[in-house]
Chain A
């Protein structure tokens, strides 16, 4: 039997809306994965350090604030600098289609938009962990994740 997949669930940036991140972390844990949750307000440096220390295969970034174009490329860059490109990055949150395409082109393994089902996300993390080179994107899962809301 393979050892369990290790995933880092991270909340980068200043946003505190952690409902989605926590729900996903629980769902991944319930699916048999070892989940490390970073907590809030993580810089790209903190996230990559945690990924190294915890020896994870996948980093899941939850971003609802619109700061993804500033944050995600920096995480990818740091992973490359530290020769950790085998660690796959998945992004979830309010990511417009156009930005999702760009993030995938930059090397993100999958982008999950609002409404993605927990099941689709679990599957996405599994295939990323297997080092799948086929980038996937899905926004049409069966479930509502927290929206922009407030504030």
Chain B
């Protein structure tokens, strides 16, 4: 059986004709060079010639000390930026010794309960020199406060710190579901960090608007594009309502997209994202500064495309997806490890993923030319199709009253659940081929070595926390937490209060509990069936 089919379509269901020509593009179709509005071809004139993408492998596991060792190893091996994975208790605002953290400490990332843990993660790594991305959302403001305090202790200037907070809470309600507080106080926290960044940490990206998780939850490429840009609009509206000027904060907004299997659809998605964002910023928000219009993005290859079966096939998938991200003009990239359908990456697998990026950078010649596929009739009409489709979604969500209202009504959630179920049925029927899973299977596969994280990690973290609580001033902690509660009840920016709290050695769990007391917690409406 070969690949012959009656009808061809992209992974996301966009029909694909046998061939394309100039007649398939709008009469007014125009393609400006890279570095020029609307930046379809890239945000810089010379793209990777001028500055290669940042090789930024997402990493964190077991303990802060183990994580620090992995970071030093990756930097020695030629990685050019850091990206911190936090464990689930930290992501949800619980300390390592909380009963709800049982079984989860250090499993999916590094546990960070206090400023001491944060200090240990970056021990010997100069934060004034390395840019650090942190995948943290609900407690992003708390974790950022810890990070800034650690950088200050190292002697770094906060104004010069470079890095990124993911801090995109909307996609948590939509897709990844690592929410703590209700929508509206969460939006306030995000806006607090954006405002604080503008005033005090102008080289830091306080918000990375993320489609990655929307895609992992099962959306199409089009839904990923549309929901992410509409989330971006929502954040802008909140920042404007706070009194910030568009050109003061828009240049610091960054994006994070998935690089999935359908090669051309992915490249078209990245190009469409750039041109649509540039148009939204000028037409809708009247941005003037060129830097406001340039959509900068990090990409990660698709975790959900990796298979447990025949895991070495994942190396090939990852390399192809990474290539799509780079031909799509990514500013930074994470390539997945071959064993990620099994566990967090082993050192061997993480090294191979790093080498994948280095081979693409140094051996393939793709850095020589910006947007080398631009001008292909197929790619250009696909870019137009995604642009149009995303505008339709954005108009529909505008009509619902915006993204917060759309999420409250369950709209993006149900769109994604429908797409994900449809895809799974296509896999079930064999219409969608997954090599090694529903075709070309091997019955008896040799096992691969994977990283195992034991329960002793949690014991270690518990001991550290017990010591911290015994040695700190409990008066200072309760004073800072009381001040935080008071501020949370008012409308002041919470960042200064969070900085005081983390410096008083209050823990992530204690700070989030204080905020839960004021804000309440989010309960998802269960309407999936």
Contacts and interface: CB of A to CB of B under 8 A. Distances in A.
Interface of A: 13-19, 22-23, 25-27, 29, 35, 37, 39-40, 43, 65-71, 94, 96-97, 113-115, 117-119, 139-140, 142-144, 146-151
B89 interface: yes
Given A96-B450, A115-B437, A147 B340 contact: yes
A35 B529 CA distance: 8
A118 B424 contact: yes
A4 B308 CA distance: 33
Given A71-B103, A147-B305, A150-B213, 16 more contacts: A15-B88, A15-B104, A19-B420, A23-B420, A67-B103, A67-B104, A69-B103, A94-B341, A115-B307, A119-B428, A142-B427, A144-B307, A147-B307, A148-B303, A148-B341, A151-B303
Interface of B: 58, 85, 88-89, 91-92, 94, 100-104, 107-109, 135, 172, 176-179, 212-213, 216-218, 300, 302-309, 340-344, 417, 420-421, 424-425, 427-428, 430, 434, 437-438, 441, 443, 447, 450, 452-453, 455, 524, 526, 528-529
A115 B302 CA distance: 16
A94 B526 CA distance: 24
B177 A114 contact: no
B177 A18 contact: yes
A14 B92 CA distance: 8
A144 B343 CA distance: 16
Contacts of A151: 58, 85, 108-109, 135, 176, 213, 303
A22 B417 contact: yes
A121 B340 CA distance: 23
A150 B421 contact: no
Contacts of B92: 14
Contacts of A23: 218, 420-421, 424
The 3 closest A-B pairs by CB, nearest first: A149-B303, A70-B103, A16-B177
B420 A118 contact: no
B104 A148 contact: no
A147 B420 contact: no
Given A37-B526, A67-B103, A151-B58, A114 B176 contact: no
B308 A149 contact: no
B88 A147 contact: no
A149 B340 contact: yes
